[in-house]
Amino acid sequence: MPGEELRELANRAVAEIAGAADDAALEAARVKYLGRKEGALSEATKRIAKLPPGEKPAYGAAVNEGKLRIERALEERTRALREARVARDLGGEREDMSLPPRRVRVGRLHPISQTVREVSRVFATMGFETVEGPEIEWDYYNFEALNIPPGHPAREKWQTLWISNPLGDDPSRPLLGRTHTSPMQIRVMEQRRPPVRVVIPGRCYRYEATDAIRESIFFQYEGLAIDEKLTMADLKGVLFSFARQIFGSDRKIRFRIDYFPFTEPSAEIAFDCFSCEGRDPECRVCGGDGWIEAAGCGMVHPDVLRRVGYDPKRYQGFAFGGGIERLAMLRTGAPDIRLFYQNDLRYLEQF
Amino acid sequence: MLIKMPVSWLREYVDISVPIDELALRLHMSSTEVKGVERPWWDDKVRVGRISKLAKHPNADKLQLATVEYGEDRPKTVVTGATNLTVGDIVPFADEGAQIIDGHTGERTTLRGKPMRGIQSEGMVLSAKELGQGEDHDGIQVLDRKLPVGARLRDVLGETILALELQPNRPDCLGVVGIAREVAAILATGLREPPVDRLPERTSRDLDVRIEDPVACPRFAAALLTGIRIGASPTWIQQRLIAAGMRPIDNVVDITNYVMLELGQPLHAYDHRKLRGGLLVARRARRGETLRTLDGVERVLHDDTLVIADADRALGVAGILGGEDSEIREDTTTVALECASFEPRGIGRTAANLGLHGSAGSAAARRFSWELSPDLVPVALARAVRLLREHAGAEVSGVMDRYPKRRGVVNVRMRFSDIPRVLGIEIGPEETLDILRRLQFVAAADGDTLVATPPAVRTDIAIAEDIVEEVGRIAGYDRLPVRVPDGPLPLHERHPLQEFRERARDGLAGFGLQEVLSYSLIDPAWLGMLTADGSCIAPEPLRVINPTTVAQSAARPTLRASLLDTARRNLRNRAGVAIFEIAPLYLPQRGDLPDERWTIGILLAGNAEPVRDGETWLTPERPWDVRDLQGYVLALADLLDVQTAGDQVDAPGLHPGRSLAFAHDGRRHLVAGQLDPRVAAKWELPAETFIAEIDLSSWLDAARPPRVIAPPRFPAALRDLAIVVDEATPYRDVEREIRAAGGTDLGSIALVDLYRGPQIGAGKKSFAVRLVLRRATATLGEEDVDRLVKRVAGRLQQALGATIRS
């Protein structure tokens, strides 16, 4: 009889649990039947102790069985309710995912910083170490050590901003804003012995009117490689590799004669136009002739080597220099060099 | 130097067998930069006209009516203001609808007939400027009388011109003949040099020439020419001068200019009447000596200036500018013609001292500052004398040529193997010799040895590398292979500051700040706008002696002004800015280059949120505040493993109550806070503008690479304390005391809340802090935690007079 009663109790509980509409009803049912203090099954469990020994095993087994059935029913119902909830959520309201998000602030590097890094990275792949040097220089490093003494007509090419020190000027050592990164050729060679492979990005200054493609304050990159057997062909290879990595692998490269007092022979390097590939006579990128002049270069002049204590009979090498802004403009289609330094955030945020 | 090279002139000395565009390309690649090929652009409506009648304009004194025949049945009548016309003159005539250059704007324009003072002008007679042939707009360009009236001007005067950018190592290319020499070498054809008769020396009682400074003036030749009749030079000379961009003046001046354009060698003609003592001498200026130069300026000459003088006084600045007194006049009949060689650096320095260097200099000065060969002197003199005899009636009555120390002949001895050594490509001996000979070098092989002697005009050739360049460029740089260099790579150095700086750059951009990069030269007036009273926050800057604009005339000793300027301009079109810049400051040092100190500047102003202006649907508007700025600074310090500490100092230019500054060894390495609102007002910035400046190398010194430990294995205990202290006690002190008492079991401290109010009384505040407590080796027991909290409470009470509420 008591077994019968317990089975009835379990049947009622299982039915009630299966009918529980939500988590609260389910919890109420759990407390009602399995609650520690007043749960029906707990009451039944307590009764076991009072039964005569002969009836205990059967009754105990019946209690356990009822408990297991109720627990299983609770588990099932819990899972069913959760699945129903998830299904309701999944089938329910649709968020308009085209609404703007909670915005995260995005900061970008200035296009010139990006380009300087890119140049350093590309030359690093060819073993060039990036070094830096002073922007305010002595005339000696900027000119004289590079075979450009005072009165030399080549100084016309590098119109100079002369600098005065508030703590006193020395007329025998004029200060200037370096007009190119080339003085670092001298500084590097004064400090190192061959083999040398460095690239020097940095700010330069010219006494020059500005326009859409020229700034009086601008960035250059300088390369220098000195060893025993480096030739013009190696120079061409390095710059060719650079062009491919910057502008794409099907670039062509062209050397033409040029003149720099500190290189001999000298050349100017041009890349074929990545925009029109020489097909558009009105091309805005190359101006229509199909070539983009990118850098001046040449074999370091023996007099320059001698001046830094390198033996030109043993060592030779090449140097090159080009404009960072020009690279940045070519890569991004930036229309006017001056925009880089006006720092209109509406412009900079595009890079 | 940009020169205009008329192709027809070039053809006189060399046969050009290829199309001009191809010639231009080949010159560009292997000789001299070609800036462009200018072709005649005059259309069919620009014709040769003849003035058949001139009449006064009925309504205007300064205008004339010119009737122009131009090959059509009916002549046309034009209104002109020019005063240089006479009946019978041959002039350029533009019919209505013709393309001309506007004389005022210099722009190409289409000619439209229009009434001038009531009379319709049916076209126009043109000045040189309107033809696009120079700047002359004072009178009508009168043409050669032999030109056929009615012909298209393009057909009779049109010139194809190469615009060449010459490099200063190639003075030989200053003359048409020099370019012809290059063309001949490139096209492997012959060169026809202009006819020159050697002038025998002939002394004269009326002219002598002396060199007092043979270094500054290595060679000085002159000719005394009598019987000169000043007049117009022949049309062909005028046309060539015009085509090359020079203005014809008279036969003597035109011929000296013609020879200069032809050979590159400038000459100078003196009116012999003005030469006292019949002497031309090249000497240094005397102390205080003055000279009225051709440009009408009375100049006091620096005493290292080389002058050409007569027996008494300076006549001109040698090679740079003639004097007014001795210039050729209409009634000149006897001319002393100077042809000299000057040391180019001296010319360059003197021209610079006189402000006449570069493009501001005279045609002669610009050429003399290049190393012209002294060997040109007798050639140019003879050429000029020949032309003056033919076209100015000159008779030679004296010729002298002083050349005390002859320039040695350059012989370059080298090995053929030097060519592959430098170029990385083999060019055989036969081809090498051929190229050099085409360039008019004397070249001979002796086994592997090459001996090359350049033509005298090639003053740029001195060493083997020069010869290699000659061979390489004419053979064609196209032939160089593309090779990736091999050989040992150098060991690379570390560059801690650069690496640190780039980590900072990435960090700040990663935080969402936009990098800006502003001019390193600034307006010095900005430096007086950084404090309320105008006092300086930075040392006196280095100045540009010759700035292009005052806005870029001081090397910035602080980033602050640039950042404020950038913020101001951007806040005109957006609600908030969050920017940073990393750049060197230039701090002057006595007797040395400035200290270029890399600095980080951060600026926040306006709205922090929403990130996109106006987009408030999820994020309400919130302005930046000083805690944001602190957050970025501390996050950067955290990212860079920097402990920001040091002596607290004041921060000039910032709000004294909302700023902080730390210094080490007297240098502020961190300044951060709200801009002084009075300074903000000067820059039209919001009062809440926040700025931080960080000295990068000081931070690098303070950076410690992290020593890491494994994450904790045992759970932490959390305890909240309410610490009531006096209002004056900074949180920093509370945190310091907690740390001191907490020892190694104290993990971290978080500020939960800051409370002021009646519950704790006036003059007090309560910090609610949460302590995270843990031990690396075990779970902390209840008693351990209680003991630790008690110790912290005791310390706070003792050190700060705090009461602890829990």
Q: pLDDT digits over A93-120, tens only?
A: 888 999 999 999 999 999 999 999 999 9
Q: What is the pLDDT of residues B709-741, one digit of tens each?
A: 888 899 999 999 999 999 999 999 999 999 999
Q: Do B615 and A100 touch (CB under 8 A)?
A: yes
Q: Is A217 on the interface with B (CB under 8 A)?
A: yes
Q: What is the pLDDT of residue B503?
A: 97
Domain end: A63, A91, A119, which one?
A91
For testing the chain B interface, which of A231, A289, A299, A325 should be mutated: the one with the most B CBs within 10 Å? A231
Mean of pLDDT values over B59-81: 90
Please tell me the distance in Å from A278's CA to the nearest CA on chain B: 15
Mean predicted lDDT score pLDDT of chain B: 93
Q: Do A259 and B492 touch (CB under 8 A)?
A: no
Question: Which residue is listed with tokens 């009918």?
Answer: A19
Total H helices, total E strands in chain A: 12, 10
For B:426-455, CB contacts with A below 8 A are none
For A:158-187, CB contacts with B below 8 A are 159-168, 170, 175, 177
Q: Do A167 and B588 touch (CB under 8 A)?
A: yes
Residue A96 in domain: no
Q: Do B481 and A236 touch (CB under 8 A)?
A: yes
User: How far is residue B222 from each of residues B270, B343, B377, measured CA to CA in Å?
Assistant: 10, 18, 9
Residues A314 and A177 in one domain: yes
Q: What is the pLDDT of residues B425-458, one digit of tens each?
A: 999 999 999 999 999 999 999 999 999 999 999 9
Among A35-44, A214-223, B782-791, where is mean pLDDT lowest?
Answer: A35-44
Mean of pLDDT values over B282-293: 92
- In this complex, the residue of A162, A195, A254 whose CB is nearest that of residue B488 is A195
Q: What is the pLDDT of residues B80-100, one digit of tens each?
A: 988 889 999 999 999 989 988
- Residue B20's nearest CA partner among B128, B130, B129, B158 is B158
The residue range of the domain holding A148 is 111-348
Residues A290 and A153 in one domain: yes
Q: Is B552 on the interface with A (CB under 8 A)?
A: yes
Q: Is A136 on the interface with B (CB under 8 A)?
A: yes
Residues A163 and A253 in one domain: yes
Q: In whole angstroms, what is the distance from residue B768 CA to residue B266 CA?
A: 90
Collapsed DSSP state (helix, strand, coil) of residue A183: helix
Counting residues of chain A whose pLDDT is more than 90, the rounded percentage is 64
Q: What is the pLDDT of residue B245?
A: 85
Q: What is the pLDDT of residues A138-192, one digit of tens each?
A: 999 999 999 999 888 888 888 999 999 999 999 999 999 999 999 999 999 999 9
Residues A288 and A219 in one domain: yes
Instruction: Tell me the pLDDT band of B134, cut-offs 50, 70 and 90.
Output: low
Name the more confident of A101 and A60: A101
For the question of an ipTM over 0.85, the answer is: yes
Complete domains list, chain B, with CATH: 2-40+161-187 (3.30.56.10), 46-157 (2.40.50.140), 208-402 (3.50.40.10), 412-478 (3.30.56.10), 496-702 (3.30.930.10), 717-805 (3.30.70.380)
What total number of domains does chain A contain?
Answer: 2
Residue A10 confidence (pLDDT) above 90:
no
Please tell me the distance in Å from A238's CA to the nearest CA on chain B: 6
A264: domain CATH number is 3.30.930.10
> Closest-CA residue in chain A for B30?
A257
A126 phi, psi to nearest 5 deg: -105, 20
Cβ-based contacts of A139 with chain B (< 8 Å): none
Residues A13 and A126 in one domain: no
- In this complex, the residue of B31, B465, B489 whose CB is nearest that of residue A197 is B489
Between the ranges A42-46, A180-184, A266-270, where is the mean pLDDT highest? A180-184
> Closest-CA residue in chain B for A105?
B512
Q: Is B571 on the interface with A (CB under 8 A)?
A: no
Instruction: Tell me the pLDDT band of B334, cut-offs 50, 70 and 90.
Output: very high
Q: Is B490 on the interface with A (CB under 8 A)?
A: yes
Buried b (16+ CB within 10 A) or exposed e, A198-230: bbbbbbbbbbbebeeeebbbbbbbbbbbbbeeb
Q: Is B697 on the interface with A (CB under 8 A)?
A: no
Residues A87 and A120 in one domain: no
Question: Which residue is listed with tokens 């032999």?
Answer: B146
- In this complex, the residue of A253, A341, A349 whose CB is nearest that of residue B514 is A349
- Residue B139's nearest CA partner among B212, B248, B224 is B248
Which run of H or E residues covers position A265?
A: strand A263-272
- Residue B806's nearest CA partner among B783, B784, B790, B795 is B790
For B:116-135, CB contacts with A below 8 A are none
Residues A210 and A313 in one domain: yes
Residue A308 in domain: yes
Q: Do A265 and B422 touch (CB under 8 A)?
A: yes
CA B62-B63-B69 angle, to 5 degrees, is 150
Residues A155 and A23 in one domain: no
Cis peptide preceding B115, ω within 30 of 0: no
Q: What is the pLDDT of residue A1?
A: 46
> What token pair was written down for B135?
């700047």
For A:223-252, CB contacts with B below 8 A are 225, 227-234, 236-238, 240-241
> Closest-CA residue in chain A for B504?
A109
- In this complex, the residue of A153, A164, A348 whose CB is nearest that of residue B369 is A153
Q: What is the pLDDT of residue B806?
A: 63
> Closest-CA residue in chain B for A106?
B512
Mean of pLDDT values over B735-764: 93
C-beta atoms surrounding B353 within 10 Å? 15
Please tell me the distance in Å from A90's CA to the nearest CA on chain B: 24
For A:46-105, CB contacts with B below 8 A are 99-105
Residues A201 and A57 in one domain: no
Counting residues of chain B whose pLDDT is more than 70, the rounded percentage is 99
Q: What is the pLDDT of residue B253?
A: 94
Q: Is A140 on the interface with B (CB under 8 A)?
A: no
Q: Do A207 and B612 touch (CB under 8 A)?
A: no
Q: Is B167 on the interface with A (CB under 8 A)?
A: yes
Residues A225 and A323 in one domain: yes
Q: Do B615 and A103 touch (CB under 8 A)?
A: yes
- In this complex, the residue of B31, B478, B610 whose CB is nearest that of residue A103 is B610
Q: What is the pLDDT of residue A7?
A: 86
Residue A106 in domain: no
Say how many CB pairs under 8 Å bridge A and B: 286
Cβ-based contacts of A106 with chain B (< 8 Å): 512
Domain end: A38, A61, A91, which one?
A91
Q: Say which amino acid occupies A92.
A: G
For testing the chain B interface, which of A114, A204, A257 should be mutated: the one with the most B CBs within 10 Å? A257
For testing the chain B interface, which of A345, A350, A351 should be mutated: the one with the most B CBs within 10 Å? A345
Q: Is B623 on the interface with A (CB under 8 A)?
A: no
Q: In whole angstroms, what is the distance from residue B241 CA to residue B387 CA?
A: 15
Please tell me the distance in Å from A274's CA to the nearest CA on chain B: 19
Residue A323 in domain: yes
Residues A55 and A134 in one domain: no
Mean of pLDDT values over B157-162: 87
Q: What is the 3-state secondary structure (H, E, C) of B616-644?
A: CCCCCCEECCHHHHHHHHHHHHHHCCECC
Q: Is B519 on the interface with A (CB under 8 A)?
A: yes
- In this complex, the residue of A101, A232, A348 whose CB is nearest that of residue B424 is A232
Residue A46 confidence (pLDDT) above 50:
yes
Residue A312 in domain: yes
Burial of residue B319 (CB within 10 Å: 0-12, 13-18, 19+) is buried
Collapsed DSSP state (helix, strand, coil) of residue A211: strand
User: How far is residue B293 from each of residues A314, B297, B329, measured CA to CA in Å?
Assistant: 53, 6, 15
- In this complex, the residue of A106, A109, A344 whose CB is nearest that of residue B512 is A106
Residue A97 in domain: no
Quote the DSSP letter at residue B559: S
Cβ-based contacts of A257 with chain B (< 8 Å): 29-32, 469, 473, 477
Residue A98 in domain: no
Collapsed DSSP state (helix, strand, coil) of residue B259: helix
Please tell me the distance in Å from A84's CA to the nearest CA on chain B: 31
Q: Is B205 on the interface with A (CB under 8 A)?
A: no
Mean of pLDDT values over B156-165: 89
Q: Do B468 and A302 touch (CB under 8 A)?
A: no
Instruction: Tell me the pLDDT band of B358, cut-offs 50, 70 and 90.
Output: low
Q: What is the pLDDT of residues B486-544, one digit of tens each?
A: 888 898 989 999 999 999 999 999 999 999 999 999 999 999 999 999 999 999 999 99
Q: Is A214 on the interface with B (CB under 8 A)?
A: no
Please tell me the distance in Å from A62's CA to the nearest CA on chain B: 44
Residue A215 in domain: yes
Burial of residue B784 (CB within 10 Å: 0-12, 13-18, 19+) is middle
Question: Which residue is listed with tokens 């008492």?
Answer: B741
In B610-716, the DSSP E strands lie at: 622-623, 647-648, 654-664, 667-675, 689-695
Mean of pLDDT values over A211-228: 94
Name the more confident of A1 and B345: B345
Q: Is B476 on the interface with A (CB under 8 A)?
A: no
Please tell me the distance in Å from A228's CA to the nearest CA on chain B: 8
Residues A81 and A117 in one domain: no
Residue A2 confidence (pLDDT) above 90:
no
> Closest-CA residue in chain A for B468?
A265
The pTM is what? 0.86
Q: Give bridge partners of residue B211 from the DSSP assignment.
A: B282
- Residue A260's nearest CA partner among A101, A171, A146 is A146
